Amino acid sequence: MAEWDVYIDGKHVGTVQETSEAAARCAALYWFDPPEDADISVSRR
């Protein structure tokens, strides 16, 4: 497991713990419920 910082439209909104970048993006969609047109990015801590 790795900890990933989550950014929505360039603003840090929190972290998720997942095994891959793809899984971290999915977790970000679930936990932070961004707008449909939001730009979501994750970076490993």
Given this model, what pLDDT does residue 13 score?
A: 98
| CA distance linking residue 19 with residue 10, whole number of Å | 22
Question: pLDDT in tens for each of the 45 residues of the chain?
Answer: 999 999 999 999 999 999 999 999 999 999 999 999 999 999 999
Which stretches does DSSP call E strand in 1-45? 2-8, 11-18, 40-44
Given this model, what pLDDT does residue 40 score?
A: 96
Domain locations in the chain as residue ranges: 2-44
Write down the pTM of the prediction. 0.89
Given this model, what pLDDT does residue 3 score?
A: 98
CA-only gyration radius of the chain, Å: 9
| CA distance linking residue 30 with residue 34, whole number of Å | 9
Given this model, what pLDDT does residue 19 score?
A: 97
